[in-house]
Every structure is written in structure tokens, then in C-alpha cells.
Structure 1
Amino acid sequence: MSATDTPDTMHIGELADRAGMSLRTIRHYDEVGLLVPSGRTTGGFRVYTAQDLDRLLVIRRMKPLGFTLDEMADLLRVVDALAAKDPDDEPALAARLDEYLDDARARHAKLVERAGMAEEFIGTLGSLRASLPDRAAPTAAVAPGAHARRGVARARRGVARARGGLRPTRASDVGSRRAPR
């Protein structure tokens, strides 16, 4: 491919945005041979096509089902062979595709079962929380930056203490390194 890309091509950043995946993951898939770019610019940048995006979306859909990289590569070979439309290979490819379909359905069923368990667990926690008095309710969300402001205040106390500016105000603080409350 040339450096003057047509609208049908995209660089890795656009591919990552469209697929909702990280650049690092896409580069990894390139390194292991799952998703080789359709071309490179004269500067060496990866260039991808809509077909590459479709291939990446197949990979992305397999990942949550727990398919290994080898299984992904095998299925992609089946998909590529089906696209070649060789009638002699079609029955064997259809059988392999059926195996992946059955496997994907079984994996999906396991995920649905686990999601149901997670919902039950959340319900259990909600019931437990509902049985507690309101005063035990968690405090409101901390305002953005509040943790940083507390950290700055602690740092200032540490500097003041180091300079001898803070003195213990309670008997229990005498000899301790804590700032007065």
C-alpha cells in the first residue's frame, strides 16, 4: 500500500477505535499472526482494511468465550477458506465450522450460568446491606480531587513537623510522630 491511503484503509489507531481494542492488543495479534495488516505505508506504519476490521471483530468476539489464540487462528483459517469458495473443501469446512458453533454455544451457556450466579451474589449482598441500619450506610462519594487534597495536607503537615512547627497538643501525642487532631 502507498502512503496515500484511500478511505477504504485505516491506520492502527482508527482500527483500535472502531474495534474498541487497545493498540497493544492489535500489535500482539500482528506478532502472533492472527491479524496481519493488509499493508504498510512507505514509512512502515500498518495499514488495515475493512476486511481486517471484520477479522479483528471475530477475534474480539471469541476472546470472552475463552478461545485460545490457536483456536482463533484455526477458525480464521476456516473463515478464509470459506471465502475462497472452493466447492471441494466446503463439506469439511462446514463440519469444522459446526464444531466451532457448538463449542461457542456451550461456552456461552457457561457464561450465562456464571452471570446468573453473579446476580444471585449481588442480590445476597443487597439483602445483607438492606438489613443494616441507615447510619452504617456508606458515605457519599468522595469529591474528585479530595484524595489529592488530603495528600497535600498530609505532606504540608510532614514538612511543618520536620521544621518543628507542629507540636503535640494532647498528652497521648507526646512522643508520637502524629500531628495533633
Structure 2
Amino acid sequence: MPAPVTSAVPSEGLLQIGEVATRTDLSVRTIRHWEDIGLISPSARSRGGFRLYSLEDVARIRLLRYMKPLNFTLEQMRELLELRDQVVASGGAGDRGLVWPPSSAVADADTASRVVLDLERYTELAARRLQQLHQQIGEVEEFVAQLREEVNRGRGAS
């Protein structure tokens, strides 16, 4: 469904894509790509066709940004956003993170249990990927130290 056209200007609480890119430390191209593949959509468009994003849209984009360095696939990103949407719809936290327990939107126990299990699965996956990143950081630090040693040896040889 296309975003509604509005005469709203960014000062009225909606942000243009460039401002969203700045706030999320992403490129405009990445945000447009995520829109093209259906991960996000702007809340509205200006009469001139400019994408306009709400603060909730920005929170959603930030969540995607957090997933990027963890190498989540687009499908994993989509699934985690859907889980987040269920929690938010149930009275959860929006841009403050995920809050439990659910209210009416995720009222039945089976659905609530599934959401919790899926969130636990993603938490474990993110923790494993974080551990891998820590290991990579250690390797990079070791490499930088070796390069510094080479520089120091080179300076001593001249």
C-alpha cells in the first residue's frame, strides 16, 4: 500500500530520507533498497513525492542497522521486524526496545510462547555473532600491532 500523500513538512514530526540517513548512519541508497524489498516503508510522501518517515520508522530502520554488522539475512531481518511489530502492537515499547508481556494483540498463549521462543532464538544468534565480531576485533588488533612493529623496524633501519 503506498504511503499517504501529505502536505506535512519535516518540522511537523516527519523526516525526509536524508535526515533519516544522517540519524541512522546509513546511506540513502541502503534505506531506499530496504524500502524496495519491503523491509520498511515511509509513513507518508510529500506532495512532491519525497519520502517522509516518522520517529517509529526511524526506530525500525535503526533496528535493521543493528542487524547489519551481525550479518543477518534479509529474511532474518524481516522475521525479526515482524516479531517486533507483534510486541509493539501488543503494547510493547516502540523505539525503546522490546517489552513483555503482551496484551491483547498477542493474547493467546501459543502465539505469545512462539514469539518469546523466536526472540530467544534471535538473541542467541546475535550473541554468537557478537562473539565472532569480538574475535575478529582481536585479530585486527593483532594485525595492527604487527604493522606497527614493521613500521618501527623500518624506522630503525634507516
Whether contact under 8 Å (1:82, 1:90) holds in the other structure is no
1:16 corresponds in structure 2 to: 21
SS at match of 1:40: strand
2:51 corresponds in structure 1 to: 46
Whether contact under 8 Å (2:70, 2:129) holds in the other structure is yes
Instruction: Identify which of 78, 86, 103 aligns with 1:81.
Output: 86
Whether contact under 8 Å (1:10, 1:47) holds in the other structure is yes
Instruction: Identify which of 7, 12, 30 aligns with 1:3.
Output: 7
Whether contact under 8 Å (2:8, 2:14) holds in the other structure is no
Cα distance in 2 for residues equivalent to 1:109 and 1:4: 44
1:27 corresponds in structure 2 to: 32
SS at match of 1:132: helix
* 1:57 and 2:62 aligned: yes
Cα distance in 2 for residues equivalent to 1:133 and 1:79: 55
User: What displacement does 1:135 show?
Assistant: 6.3
Structure with more helix by fraction = 2
1:130 corresponds in structure 2 to: 152
Q: State the AA in 1 paired with 2:117.
A: A
Q: Structure 1: which 5+ residue stretches go unaligned?
A: 137-181
User: What displacement does 1:134 show?
Assistant: 4.2
SS at match of 1:131: helix
Q: State the AA in 1 paired with 2:59.
A: D
Cα distance in 1 for residues equivalent to 2:45 and 2:153: 62
Q: Structure 2: which 5+ residue stretches go unaligned?
A: 91-105
1:117 corresponds in structure 2 to: 139
Q: How many pairs does the alignment contain?
A: 136
Cα distance in 2 for residues equivalent to 1:52 and 1:61: 14
1:104 corresponds in structure 2 to: 126
Cα distance in 1 for residues equivalent to 2:134 and 2:49: 43
Bigger-Rg structure (1/2): 1
Whether contact under 8 Å (2:40, 2:61) holds in the other structure is yes
Whether contact under 8 Å (1:3, 1:43) holds in the other structure is no
1:120-159 pair list within 5 angstroms: 120-134=142-156, 136=158
Structure 1 stretch 121-130 or stretch 109-118: which is displaced more? 121-130
So what's the TM-score if we normalise by structure 1? 0.70
Instruction: Identify which of 74, 86, 89 aligns with 1:69.
Output: 74
Q: Indicate the structure whose relative CO is greater, using CA pairs within 8 Å and at least 6 residues apart.
A: 2
So what's the TM-score if we normalise by structure 2? 0.80
